[in-house]
Structure 1
Amino acid sequence: MNTFDILQVVFYAAALLALSKPLGVFLAGALKDDSPWQRRVFSPVERAIYRLAGIAPGTEMNWKRYTGAVLAFNAFGFLAVFLLQLFQHKLPLNPNGLGPVEGWLAFNTAVSFMTNTNWQSYAGETTLSYLTQMLGLGVQNFLSVATSTGVMAALARGLAGHKISGLGNFWGDVTRVTVRVLLPLSLLVAFALVGEGVVQTFRPNAKVTTLEGTEQVIPLGPAASQIAIKQLGTNGGGFYNANSAHPLENPTPLSNFIEMFALLLLPGGCVFAYGAMVGDKGHARALFAVMFAVWSAGLAGALYSEYHSAAVTGGAALMEGKEVRFGVTNSVLWAVSTTAASNGSVNAMHSSLSPVAGGIAMFNMMLGEIIFGGVGCGLYGMVLFALLTVFLCGLMVGRTPEYLGKKVEKREMQMTLTGILASSAVLLIGTALSCAMPAALASLSSKGPHGFSEILYAWTSACGNNGSAFAGLNANVPFYNIGLGLAMLVGRFAVLVPVLAIAGSMGAKQPSPPSAGTLPTDTPTFGLLLAAIIIIVGGLTYFPALTLGPIVEQLLMFKGAAF
Structure 2
Amino acid sequence: MDWRGWAEIVFTIALTVAVGWPLGIYMARVWARERTPLDLVLQPVEASFYAALGIDKNREQNWLSYAGAVLAFSVTGFVLLYGLLRLQGFLPLNPQGFDGLSPHLAFNTAVSFVTNTNWQSYGGETTMSSLSQMAGLTVQNFVSAAAGLAVAAAVARAFAADRGETLGNFWVDLTRNTFYVLLPLSIVTALALVAAGVPQSLLANVTAKTLEGADQIIALFPVASQEAIKQWGTNGGGLFNVNSAHPLENPTPLTNLIEVVSLNALAFGTVVAFGRVAGARKEARALLSAMVILVGLGAAAIYSSETLTPQPAMIAAGITDAPANMEGKEVRFGAAASSIWAAQTTGASNGSVNAMHGSFMPLGGGVAMFLIQLGEILPGGVGSGLYGMVVMALLAVFVAGLMVGRTPEYLGKKVEAREIKFAMLAVLILPLAILGFSAVAAVLPVALEGLLNKGPRGLTEILYAYSSAAGNNGSAFAGLTANAPWWNTTLGIAMLLGRFAYMVPVIAMAGAIAAKPKLAPTAGTLPSDSPLFVGLLIGIILILGGLQFFPALALGPIVEHFQVLAATR
**Same fold at TM > 0.5:** yes
Specify the alignment match of 2:347 in structure 1. Answer: 340
Residues 1:64 and 2:64 aligned together? yes
Task: Provide the residue aligned with 2:167 in structure 1.
Answer: 167
Query: What whole-Å deviation, never above 9, does each CA across 1:157-202 have from its counterpart, x for those lacking one?
Result: 1111011111111111011111111111101110111111111111
1:181-330 alignment, distance < 5 Å: 181-208=181-208, 210-212=210-212, 215-310=215-310, 312=312, 313=314, 314=320, 316=322, 317-330=324-337
Aligned to 1:513: 520
> Would the aligned equivalents of 1:423 and 1:494 in 2 still touch at CA under 8 Å?
no
Aligned to 2:155: 155
Q: Relative to structure 2, which stretch is displaced further, 457-466 or 19-28?
A: 19-28
Give the aligned residue type for 1:488.
M
Partner of 2:411: 404
- Secondary structure at 2:197's aligned position in 1? coil
**1:459 corresponds to 2:466:** yes
Distance 1:463 1:13 in 2: 26
Alpha-carbon spacing, 1:315–1:165, altered in 2? closer, same or farther (3 Å): farther
Offset, 1:214: 5.1
Mapped contact 1:310–1:560 kept (Cα < 8 A): no
Per the TM alignment, residue 495 of structure 1 is displaced from its structure 2 partner at its CA by 1.1
**What amino acid sits opposite 2:201 in the alignment?**
T
Give the TM-score normalised by the residue count of structure 1: 0.98
- Given that 1:307 and 1:315 are in contact with CA atoms closer than 8 Å, whether structure 2 keeps it comes out as no
In the aligned structure 1, how far is the partner of 2:516 from the partner of 2:236? 38
Q: Which residue of 1 aligns with 2:541?
A: 534
The code of the aligned residue for 1:172 comes to V
Q: Are positions 1:377 and 2:380 aligned together?
A: no
Partner secondary structure for residue 492 of structure 1: helix
Task: Give the Cα–Cα distance (whole angstroms) in 2 for the partners of residues 87 and 243 of structure 1.
Answer: 25
Aligned residues of 1:305 and 1:354 also touching (Cα < 8 A): yes
- Cα deviation, 1:423-448, whole Å, max 9, x if unaligned, reads 21110011111100011111111122
* 2:138 aligned partner: 138
Amino acid at match of 2:29: G
Deviates more, 1:299-308 or 1:228-237: 299-308
| Percentage of matched positions with identical amino acids | 53
Which AA in structure 2 matches 1:414?
Answer: K
Q: How much does 1:450 deviate?
A: 1.1
Q: TM-score if structure 2 supplies the norm length?
A: 0.97
1:250 is paired with a residue of what secondary structure?
coil
Code of the aligned partner of 1:279: G
Which residue of the partner structure matches residue 105 of structure 1? 105
Question: Is the partner of 1:248 in helix, strand or coil?
Answer: coil
Aligned-partner Cα distance in 2 for 1:242–1:17: 27
Q: Secondary structure at the match of 1:559?
A: helix
Q: Deviations over 1:245-277 (max 9, x none)?
A: 111111111111111111011011011000001
* Aligned pairs (5 A) from 1:63-142: 63-142=63-142
Q: Give CA deviations for 1:98-154 in whole Å, capped at 9, x if unaligned.
A: 111001000000000000000000011111110000000000000001000000011
The separation in 1 between residues aligned to 2:46 and 2:309, in whole angstroms, is: 53
Structure 1 residue 492: Cα displacement: 0.2
Paired with 2:283 and 2:296, the residues of 1 have a C-alpha distance of 20
Equivalents in 2 of 1:139, 1:452: separation in Å?
35
2: CA distance, partners of 1:443 / 1:385: 35
Give 1:278 shift.
Answer: 0.5
**1:315 Cα deviation (Å)?**
5.5
Separation (CA, whole Å) in 2 of partners of 1:83 and 1:127: 15
1:442 corresponds in structure 2 to 449
2:337 equivalent to 1:355 = no
Letter in 2 for 1:192: A
Q: How far apart are residue 22 of structure 1 and its match?
A: 1.1
Could you list the per-position Cα deviations for residues 74-106 of structure 1 after superposition, in whole angstroms to 9, with x for gaps in the alignment? 011111110111111111100011111001000
User: Greater CA deviation, 21-30 or 482-491?
Assistant: 21-30
2:45 is matched with 45
Q: Which runs of 5+ in 1 are unaligned?
A: none
Letter in 2 for 1:95: P
Shift of 1:451: 1.2
Q: For residue 8 of structure 1, what is the aligned residue in structure 2?
A: 8
Compute the RMSD of aligned alpha carbons: 1.4
> Does residue 393 of structure 2 align to residue 386 of structure 1?
yes
The answer for the alignment partner of 1:492 in structure 2 is: 499
Count residues in correspondence: 562
The Cα shift of 1:213 comes to: 5.8
SS of corresponding position for 1:436: coil
Deviates more, 1:3-12 or 1:395-404: 3-12
Distance 1:37 1:196 in 2: 27
Q: Which runs of 5 or more structure 2 residues have no equivalent in the other structure?
A: 315-319
**Partner Cα separation in structure 2 for residue 17 and residue 145 of structure 1:** 19
